[in-house]
Amino acid sequence: MENKTYHQQQDIKNTLLLREVLAELPPYVKSYFRGIENRTSTSTRLGYARDILSFFEYMHEYNPSLKGKEIRSITCGTLEQLYAVDFEEYLDYMKYYKKDGREYTNSERALKRKLVAIRGLFSYLFKNDQISSNPTEKVDMPKIREKAIIRMDAKETAEFLDNVEYGNQLTTSQQKRHEKNKDRDLALLTLMLGTGIRVSECVGLDINDVDFDNDRIKVTRKGGYESFVYFGEEAREALLTYLEERKKVVAKEGHENALFLSNQNRRITVRSVELLVKKYNITPMKKITPHKLRSTYGTALYQETDDIYLVADVLGHKDVNTTIKHYAELDDYRKRNARNKVQLREKP
């Protein structure tokens, strides 16, 4: 797979994992996934498949109608015996359960995603006359409690990047290893904070995706489409400095084109970036993650431009309502700033 891009490799990996999950499910489930292939990503389909498998596993273990039945042999006729209460009991169970000696919990958001996956399957079966009714439509979606958006303010952002560059708030052991990776870390995190790209988009960048003639990067967005994102002078300087160091590194086979490399000279992973952000975080009262860097950028851009459509476009939101939902509370900031814009009388 050395000639394939990061995102192509991820698609292949997800496809193989999806086949493993589908092998445990009845044949009609495979038909459903073939039906949604053209309008969903491989990561979305893999997530849906795992959620559907967890539903069948629960029914196999606990539901009176399906208990003890081999999962692959569960027919559409058997599914027709289910009622809305069966799905409600499943969602209630998934809030907290134990498996193989481990405890698991699911938030309202995770429960909603599971019900969406199951509904999709049952809607497909109903539409194709494989079941005569769709009991999942009678199940209320879990109510999502909106959380306050966590982001860094301008002062926190500056202190965060100072910590990345100088390591002044790292532990003694972290400071010993800081010099080796500081140029990479500063380039990566400055780029994320200066463009709002997703962590998956960042780790997927290749060296030739960086265009210094136009100060932009080519990213592969959710859904697989490509887009150009522009970066500022700070990101440009950090990238140029890092790329001088990057030239000296011999990457492992298959990772030669990767922009950001790990200590093992392989393409850096999403998990590694998550740990980087956690290491450099200087706001203990805020749980800063890569996605919070994205929120920080989106907030700053909206405050500077007052253009929600521009923010949506730069962040790669297909629906501007997604952007409005996340940044609408900033309207109070704009109102406060505008309070003295209109002058009623000339000042003496």
pLDDT at 302: 86
Q: Give strand pairing partners of 267.
A: 261
What does residue 258 show for φ and ψ, rounded to 5 degrees? -60, 135
pLDDT at 331: 58
pLDDT classification of 34: cutoffs 50, 70, 90: very high
pLDDT at 342: 64
Q: Domain 154-337 is classified in which CATH homologous superfamily?
A: Intergrase catalytic core (1.10.443.10)
- Token pair for 15: 């496809």
> Helices in 42-153 by DSSP H: which ranges?
42-62, 76-79, 84-94, 108-127
d(CA 217, CA 101): 45
What does residue 104 show for φ and ψ, rounded to 5 degrees? -130, 145
pLDDT classification of 245: cutoffs 50, 70, 90: very high
pTM for the model: 0.82
pLDDT classification of 135: cutoffs 50, 70, 90: very high
Residues 6 or more apart whose Cβ sits within 8 Å of residue 161? 186, 189, 190, 193
Residues 6 or more apart whose Cβ sits within 8 Å of residue 292? 150, 151, 152, 277, 286
Residue 225 has pLDDT above 80, yes or no: yes
Q: Give strand pairing partners of 211.
A: 216
**Pairwise pLDDT comparison (239 vs 98), residue with the higher score:** 239
For the chain, the structural domain boundaries read: 6-138, 154-337
Residue 275 has pLDDT above 60, yes or no: yes
